[in-house]
Structure formats: C-alpha cells, structure tokens
Amino acid sequence: MNEYKSLPNEDSKCIDLTSCDSGSDTNCNGSFGEIYIPESKKHFAVINPSKMCQPMGAVQALLGIDGAMPLIHGSQGCSTYLRFQMCRHFREPVNISSTSMSESTVVYGGEENLLKALETIWREYKPKLIGVTSSCLTETIGDDMNLIIRKFRSEHSDEELPLIIPISTPSYSGSHVDGYDKTIKSLLENMALQNQANDKINIVPGNISPADVREIKEILELMECSSIILTDNSESLDAPHTGSVSFLPPAGTKINEIIDSANSKASISLCKHANSGAKFLEKRFDVKSISGPLPVGLKNTDKFISAICQIKNCELPEKLEKDRGRLIDTIIDAHPYNYQRKVAIYGDPDVVSGLAGFTAELGMMPAVVCTGAESIRFLDDMKEVAKESGSKPAVMQGCDLYDLQNYIKDNPVDLLIGNSYGARIANEENIPLFRVGFPIYDRMGAQRNPIVGYSAGIRLVDTLANMILEKYYDASGGEIE
C-alpha cells in the first residue's frame, strides 16, 4: 500500500502531476522525450475538421447542471446543429434554446431577442439556471450580454429569477475545448462563494463521456471522498428510461454545489485544457488546483488516485487495489499482441495524450497523434509521453483529418483511435478503428462505455487486443504477415 502511495511522485508539493518525473522505468532507446512535428501539406483550408466551435463545448458543460437551460445567442442553426450532433452521439433528447436572430435583429442589435428569450425560457421551462452563450454573430455585432442580462434582472427585480450566466464563446476563436473551459470558469466566477470549509474535492471532468464521469464518481465513492463534479453529465446525457421526458437536465451538479466549490479542499481538473475554473478558485479562494492528466490507463489513473490519497490522507481501497492488479494482469495477458503496434490517435487534446500514454504502457507505439485544437500544452504533454515511453511520436496540433490521413498514407499504422469521422480513413487505409471521443454516431454505446480508471482500462485493453487479433491473426491463431 505504501508502495502505491509513493508510486506517481514523491514530491507532495507538486501541483501539475505530469510535470513531475515519475521515474520512468521504460528505459528508452533512441530519442528521449522527443516529438516530431510533421509539416502539413496545405496552408489555408481545413479539410475534415477535427474540432468543433466554442458553443458546442459550452453547451456540453451546461447540460451537466441540474435544471440548467443553455441558450445560444445567435442564429437558429447554431442550436439546431449542436442538438443534432449531440442527439446522435448521446442518443438522448437534447434541448438547447436559441434567441433566433434574423436579419432585422442583426441590424438593430439582439437586445430585444435576448430579453424575450430569457423571458420565454424562464416562464415556459422554469430552469434553475440559464447559461447564455454568445456566437460569432452576436459577438461581431457587439451585443453586451452582461448589460442586457442586468436589464432583464432589473425589469423583474421583484420576482424570483433563475441564475443567468453569460459566457463569451465566439466560434472564430479556440474550439469546443475552450468553450467548455470558459463555461466552467464563468460559472465559478459568477457563483462560487467562500464561507465554511467543506471536506470535498472539486472535480472538473472536461469534455468526456457521461460514462467516464460515472466511473470517476464510483471511484470517489469507493475512496469515501465526497466531491463536487463541475459539471456532472452522467445522468442527463445517459439517462435511464422512465417513460417520461424532461426538458432540463433532471439531475447533475446542483446550483448549491457550484456555489460551495470555493470551500473545497482542492480541485482536480481531469483535463488540463479544462483547468481555468480550478485555477480561478485557486487564485481567488486558495483552493489548491491539480490539473490532469486524464486518468486513462495505469499510470495516469495512479496519478489521479494518489492525488486524492494525498489530499484526503487516505489509503487505496482494496477494491481499487484489486482492479489495479487486474489491469496489470490484463496488460500482461495482451502484451504479445500489442507489442510495437503502431497507433494513430486523434480527438480532444487531453483524451489523445491520455490514450497515447496508455497505449505506450501496453507496449504499443503511439506513432502519430492529432488534435484539431491549437495547443502548446498538448505538445508538452506529448513530450512527456514520449519521454516515458521512449517513442518518438509525430504530433499534430491545430490539424485536421486530412493532415492525419496524409501522414498515415506515408507512415502506415496498425490501429486508429478516435471518433466516427475517422471511419472513412479506417476504410480507405484498411486499418481497424477503435471509436472514442465525440461524435460517435455509427456505433452504439458512446455514452455508456468509459475509458477512465482501472476497470474501464481492463475493458479497453481487451477490446484493443481483440481488434488486433481480429485483424492481424488468422483463424488458427497465426499472425498474418
């Protein structure tokens, strides 16, 4: 047990877990901590994008709040297309309202539409919170959402209004990853209040599957660690069938919990790219902030769990210890099939770097990784993975699936990991695709299959190894050359 506690790092003062050298036991041949940045064959066009716009991330964060309604201040298409994408991924009804901007309201400003929209939502849907996200349209015409919301509040000063949180998310900067991050930060900036210290840990999951959030909650429960999940989409975006339908998330993070987050012992942002909210709490209320890595695979999960052990000053529960042992057992069982298999991984930066670290643990080679978001942090994370695994991955940030496919054409890989948009690459290049990320619309279970934690890791190893067996071994068990 003690051995475990000291596993990830000895330096308990360390904040950013990945910045600490955990003493890699994979002695590397060749380049140490090096990455290779391939050059894109094009300079202007984006072909087959691997990122979405800020409102997408914002809406996903808001839908994890109990009784919250997202409102996109922009054209109807913004909310309708986001709903379409989310419905087909989560296979759940998703409601996002729109201020329905049209030509005349664009010319004269969106104040009237936004006021009307707030009124309609308040009266018809009775939410506890309205998250108002801007769009490229309303940012450009310069609508002052803060001012308009203040006006709405003063018009109804004698009535009980829902909380209204403005979030600036123009789609011409950043990506859905930033949209999520900004939303969490806006919520905390507007709501967090310090009073009585609680014994909780804040968890900012980032843009991950409801199944992953549920997995994290189960781990925390096993560790008897009370927490505030910012935000918790595990019920709203993977809801049980009850015969009824709700227009607002029927469960999720409570308003009071968001307010109370300033009193927690620490915050852990599972995704480094979603840590602005936690950083804010640290700066403003002195709540210690820990960022990533996403607990995918053995070492990354170790880091997450030991961070909790340190904060709570507790030991690893027996159940988790056994899960951890089983994960190692699974990795050993599968290692002959996985060894030196080249993988290409694409998607959101933290998911990609997390999975890259995991595949390296399995003995695979993360040969090329790609994210649509532009991120220096991603490069640093991949350097860390390269250092720990002794591989030299090609790292693409701010790139698209066209770039990825071009690279794969010249440098073939054995396995592809990413969302459904890669199905065409998989088909054309004849590589099996393991689907993870967003959106997944051509297979079942995107909202139900976790990847974080030890026990999800076990299933992940089995699935990947089975895909390899299916593709690269014949019926009699021989390896196909």
Rounded to whole angstroms, the Cα distance separating 339 from 71 reads 48
Per-residue binding string, other proteins, 39-68, x by CB under 8 A, is ---xxxxxxxx-xxxxxx------------
Contacting other proteins within 155-214 (CB under 8 A): 170-173, 175
DSSP 87: H
Residue 260's φ and ψ, nearest 5 degrees, are -75, -15
Rounded to whole angstroms, the Cα distance separating 130 from 116 reads 13
**Binding status of residue 245 toward other proteins by CB under 8 A:** yes
Per-residue binding string, other proteins, 110-129, x by CB under 8 A, is ---xx-xxxxxx--xxx---
Cα 396 to Cα 163, 379, 406, distances in angstroms: 40, 8, 12
Which residue from 16, 33, 34, 76 is in contact with other proteins, where contact means CB under 8 A? 76
Min separation Cβ 417 and other proteins, Å:
19
Of 24-32, 81-89, 153-161, 387-395, which segment contacts other proteins by CB under 8 A?
81-89
Specify the residue, 81 or 285, whose C-beta has the smaller distance to other proteins: 81
What H or E segment, with its residue span, contains residue 370? strand 365-371
Residue 300's φ and ψ, nearest 5 degrees, are -65, -40
Min separation Cβ 380 and other proteins, Å:
23
Contacting other proteins within 248-287 (CB under 8 A): 248, 250
CB 202 within 8 A of CB 267: yes
Which residue from 35, 59, 78, 331 is in contact with other proteins, where contact means CB under 8 A? 78
Specify the residue, 78 or 219, whose C-beta has the smaller distance to other proteins: 78
Specify the residue, 71 or 417, whose C-beta has the smaller distance to other proteins: 71
**Helix ranges, 275-317 (H):** 276-285, 297-312
Contacting other proteins within 91-110 (CB under 8 A): 91-103, 105-106
Q: Which amino acid is at 481?
A: E
Residue 144's φ and ψ, nearest 5 degrees, are -90, 95
**Binding status of residue 147 toward other proteins by CB under 8 A:** no
**Binding status of residue 427 toward other proteins by CB under 8 A:** no
Per-residue binding string, other proteins, 308-347, x by CB under 8 A, is ----------------------------------------
Kindly tell me the burial class for residue 88, based on how many C-beta atoms sit within 10 Å of its own C-beta (0-12, 13-18, 19 or more). middle
* Residue 224, both tokens: 């008897």
**Binding status of residue 356 toward other proteins by CB under 8 A:** no
DSSP 345: E
Which residue from 19, 246, 411, 466 is in contact with other proteins, where contact means CB under 8 A? 246
- Determine the size of the site formed for other proteins (CB under 8 A): 79
* Residue 397, both tokens: 């940030």
